[in-house]
Every structure is written in C-alpha cells, then in structure tokens.
Amino acid sequence: MQFRDLPSVDSVLAHRDVAAAAQSFDRDWVVDLVREALQSAREQIRQGGDPPDADSVASSVCQRIEDTMRAEPRQVINATGVVIHTNLGRAPLSRAAIEASNQAARGYSNLELDLATGRRGSRQTQVQSLLQQITGAEAALAVNNNASAMLLGITALAAGKEVVVSRSEAVEIGGGFRVPDVLRQSGATLVDVGTTNRTYVRDYDEAVTENTAAFLKVHASNFRVEGFTASVGTAELVEVGARRGIPVLHDVGSGSLLLTEKYGMAHEPTPQESIKDGAGLVFFSGDKLLGGPQAGIVVGKKDLVDVLARHPLARAVRIDKLSLASLTATLVHYLKGEAEKEIPVWRMISTPEAALKKRAKSWQAGLECPSSVEKSRSAVGGGSLPGETMPSWVLSLDCQALGPDEVMRRLRDSSTPVIARIEDDRVLLDPRTVLPEEDGPLLDALRSAVSD
C-alpha cells in the first residue's frame, strides 16, 4: 500500500535542512509542520498521487518555514497603471513621510509629552495645526481610518437620534462598508430622503423632527449617477441646517487637497471647499488622494470636533505614532507647495505623456520577447474619480509562446513581485505607477518572466 511508502516523522526530522530548522526555531512547531506535510501527502495519495520521499517532504517543510518567516506585507512593484490601488496598499509614501515614520519607530518620542512644559500633551497638537492651516477649519482630529472617523462622528453627535441622508448617498463605499450599517452601529437612526436619482432641499427640510441630530452628505466616490438627476450642494444643505439648528456632516472620501481639474480630470470635492461652505464636520482618508498613510481625518467646527475628541470611542480608534509621524510629514508637503513634486500619488498623476512613453521604450530595449509601446489609459483608483482615466503609454508584451497568465505568474514570483495587467491576451506594464528606483528590479523580473 502506498501509505507505507511515506517517510516517517523521524526520518524527515533527521533530514539536514529540517534538523537545522529544528535547532533554529521552536522544535515542537517544526514537528507539527512535518506532521502537517505528511498528512497533506496522505490526502494526495487518496486522490491518486504518488507518495513523496523524505527529501520532498523536507523541502515542503522548509518552504513553509521560509514563507512564515518572510516579512509581510511584501514590497511589490505596481505596473498596473492604477495609482491608488487598494489591493496594493493604496498610496505610497513620500521619502520624508517614510523617514518620519522610521524616526518615530527608532526609539522613544514626544508622542504625548509637551517638551516646552514637561507635562502630558496631546498627540493631535501638530497634525491639528497643519490641518487647520491647510483646510481653513477651526479644529481637526486624526484617527486610524476614514470609516472610524465617520463612525466616531455619528456616534458622538447622533447616538439615539436621527441622521438625515439622501437615498442616493446611502451607499456601499467598498469592502462591504455601508453607510446604513455605520449609522446602525453608531446607534443613530437613518432617515433617507429623496429618491435614488433626485433629492431636493425641501426633502431635507421636511424630514426634520425634534429628534434630528445631523444632516449627512456622502460623496459618491466609487460610482457615478448620470442623466435625470438632482442633488443638494453642501452650501445649500448648510443653509437649511443653520435655519433648523442642525449640523452638516460631509464625507468627502478621498481627501484631495489639490484641484484635480488641473490634471485634466473631473472635479473631486476638497475638504477646503466643504469647510468654506460651512460644513460642521468633514471626513476624509489619509491614504488616497491626500497621499499619506492610512488615517481618517476630521476637520470642522471646534465645538463639534471637541465632542468627538472627548468621546470614549476616540481612544479606541486613535491614530498610532508611526502613521501620525508620516501623516504630519505628508501634510508639510502641502504647506510648502511641493506636493506635486514630493508626494508619489501626485507625481504619478502629473507625469506628462512624453515622459511615460520614453520610460516604456527604455524598458522595451533588450527584451527578447515580441513587444510594443502603445497608447493606453491609467486610472486614479481607490474609489476616487470614478470613470476618470488619464492618457498613458504602456509596454505591451506579446505572450503567445508562454501565455499571458504564465507571464503574470512569473512576474508575481519574482524576488520583488511585479503586478501588471492583461488586455486582449497581452501583458501591459504602465510606467505611471512604477517608482523611478524600481526600474532595475522590474527589468530583472521582466527578462526572467519572458525567457523560455
């Protein structure tokens, strides 16, 4: 019987590489891995496979150890052309933001110490000052992500009360994150008004009761409704709120602090505009168009922000020191007027077509695989500017010999994995989203992937 041909646990443990691993790591863990590998081999035999020898089992155990010890998440090269790629960690950080995070990680920091007085301070002091200057808000607060910011805001201001939302804005933002679910979790009651495609000022006005705590406006960041539509602008909604004594809470999503029209795209709402229109609180992400680390940012009127800051949930969702350091450094770029130059997201968006074409051609040189440099389109991604793309140039690989899926697999298996995209059975690599220092590893991976 083939099960009898399986090596024993002891024989695998005696293998040179496994024995070395048992000395370097917890022996009981290595023994468990050997047993799991042998159990997997038994399943393969039941399905008609051949029994592996001790060397094969030892190799699988060592590979499992190597995979477990490898740092995750791993660095990958984004050649998809999607600037804010959710699956690839969204926005890459600027050099200054990376250094700030490293510095905060190296030792102790004045995270909650006022160096001037020697007394306890707030981790929010510096980031609040920067956000006030950039957005024009009276106050600001940073938490760990935008979902938390929104949950904190509604919980602190509207638990047990009603929040009025346009039916067209009671949306699912992504990853199953739904506005009605957030309201339910916060303890607030959703009152939706208008219709899927048309909502008017009177709809909000007529929905107000003595239990209404807030008007909530949500930017449709990952879809677009066109045609027979009507919506209420922030300034209009603020007028109704001011008359009825109700604050307007506005989730602008991607946190664009620059005007996207400058780069040939549709307008993306900015926090500055919402503050100018009189919104009580504005929520946005730190790791999308803002170009920083994962964070949720709240800016707005001081009395409302103070309510959020004092709420017990604020501690549960507070921003950590590494994200805080890199967020602060990212915001400094905006104050210095250097965001387009220093923040990778904006550098990618602002790269001219000619530079992209030149770079794609440099990748093509020396490749033994049939290829061409072609016009294409890049996307912003990350739920920002839905349907909007930017003109680009890509390196297009004709992969008939190996097949595009095999080339993609080989690119992912590189020491620095490369993530590209497939169109019309060709593998496309877009230089817009590849950092300049990644050209060397990308070319190494590319040459290896297309070789027979």
Query: 206-247 pLDDT, tens per residue?
Result: 999 999 999 999 987 656 666 677 888 999 999 999 999 999
Q: Which helix (H) or strand (E) holds 165?
A: strand 162-166
Distance CA 402, CA 369 (A): 10
308 burial type by CB count under 10 A (0-12 exposed, 13-18 middle, 19+ buried): buried
- Within a 10 A sphere around the Cβ of 431, how many other Cβ atoms? 28
With a cut of 60, say whether residue 249 has pLDDT above it.
yes
Length of the chain: 452
Quote the pLDDT of residue 388: 80
Quote the pLDDT of residue 213: 97
Q: How far is CA 176 from the centre of its chain?
A: 15
Distance CA 173, CA 11 (A): 53
423 token code pair? 């169109």
**Mean pLDDT in residue range 7-24:** 93
Quote the pLDDT of residue 244: 94
Per the CB < 8 A criterion, the answer to whether 416 and 77 are in contact is: yes
Share of the chain above pLDDT 70, in %: 97
**Collapsed DSSP state (helix, strand, coil) of residue 82:** strand
Domain at 77-86+350-450: CATH architecture:
Alpha-Beta Complex (3.90)
* 119 strand-pairing partners: 114
Per the CB < 8 A criterion, the answer to whether 395 and 389 are in contact is: no
54 token code pair? 């001790």
With a cut of 80, say whether residue 366 has pLDDT above it.
no
Quote the pLDDT of residue 98: 98
Distance CA 133, CA 135 (A): 6
Quote the pLDDT of residue 223: 61
Per the listing, tokens 């039941």 go with 46
376 token code pair? 């294409």
Top CATH class, 95-342: alpha beta
Distance CA 42, CA 314 (A): 51
